[in-house]
């Protein structure tokens, strides 16, 4: 049985709420379920994609983006797809939440080919990330559990008080700088 594993990770451009979830399905199966517009309604909300546009900054050059709308029961949630590489990752910016990412990593597991789903919710700093984790972490956790169930994976239920307690007191770690120094032992009291 799989369980979401949340933490806060600080890096050079901010701090992310990171939730990892090991799924006993191959990357292709997980990706197809994740990106199917209609069946997304079973775990989050159906969505529709607009035509790709070029975001232009002051210099007239910028990344391509694609408008995205999740069709919630009582309102639409608008945003855009900032980056997408099939069977690897999708990076979204949603008006109500900011920047969110989902990355899939293939893993050899007990059941054969498995996938590690890595969900991120980016904040500008540690204090903002802690607030977002407390406010939105239980919701993201619940939707990830629903996603696992949509794939036919047995995953434990979690009560709202359990999720609120877990996401209100996450450990903080520093992202590996890649320079050979070990920065994973960040002070948890950093703010």
* 110-148: pLDDT as tens digits: 777 899 999 999 999 999 999 999 999 999 999 999 999
Q: How far apart are CA 62 and CA 54, in angstroms?
A: 7
Identify how many contiguous H helices and E strands the chain contains and give both numbers. 3, 10
Residue 54: the pLDDT is 61
Arithmetic mean of pLDDT over the chain: 87
Condensed to tens digits (0 to 9), the pLDDT of residues 88-99 reads: 999 999 998 999
Residue 63: the pLDDT is 55
Are 27 and 104 in contact, with CB atoms under 8 Å apart? yes
Q: How far is CA 181 from CA 7, 109, 172, 174, in A?
A: 21, 30, 17, 11
Are 23 and 153 in contact, with CB atoms under 8 Å apart? yes
Least confident segment among 47-51, 91-95, 147-151, 165-169: 47-51
Closest CA to 134 of 145, 121, 143: 121
Residue 178: the pLDDT is 52
Closest CA to 185 of 170, 166, 167, 172: 172
Residue 183: the pLDDT is 39
Least confident segment among 8-12, 35-39, 56-60, 123-127: 56-60
Are 65 and 55 in contact, with CB atoms under 8 Å apart? yes
Residue 187 pLDDT > 80: no
Residue 107: the pLDDT is 94
- Please measure the distance between the N-terminal and C-terminal CA atoms of the chain and give it in whole angstroms: 34
The SS3 call for residue 33 is: helix
Residue 181 pLDDT > 70: no
Q: How far is CA 163 from CA 11, 23, 133, in A?
A: 25, 20, 10
Which band of pLDDT confidence, cut at 50, 70 and 90, is reported for residue 73? confident
* Superfamily name with CATH number, domain 5-47+65-174: START domain (3.30.530.20)
Closest CA to 190 of 142, 132, 125, 144: 125
Q: How far apart are CA 102 and CA 89, in angstroms?
A: 5
Residue 60 pLDDT > 50: no
């Amino acid at each position: 049985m799989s369980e979401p594993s949340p933490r806060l990770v600080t890096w050079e451009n901010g701090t992310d709420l990171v939730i990892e979830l090991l799924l006993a399905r191959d990357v292709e199966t997980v990706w197809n379920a994740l990106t199917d517009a209609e069946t997304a309604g079973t775990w989050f909300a159906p969505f529709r994609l607009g035509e790709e546009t070029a975001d232009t900054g002051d210099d007239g050059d910028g990344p391509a983006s694609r408008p995205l709308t999740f069709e919630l029961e009582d309102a639409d949630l608008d945003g855009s797809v900032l980056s997408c590489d099939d069977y690897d990752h999708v990076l979204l910016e949603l008006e109500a939440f900011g920047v969110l990412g989902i990355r899939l990593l293939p893993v050899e597991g007990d059941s054969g080919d498995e996938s590690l789903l890595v969900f991120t919710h980016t904040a500008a700093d540690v204090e903002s990330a802690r607030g977002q984790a407390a406010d939105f972490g239980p919701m993201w956790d619940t939707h990830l559990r629903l996603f696992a169930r949509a794939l036919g994976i047995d995953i434990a239920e979690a009560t709202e008080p359990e999720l609120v307690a877990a996401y209100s007191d996450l450990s903080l770690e520093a992202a590996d700088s890649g320079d050979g120094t070990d920065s994973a032992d960040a002070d948890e009291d950093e703010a």
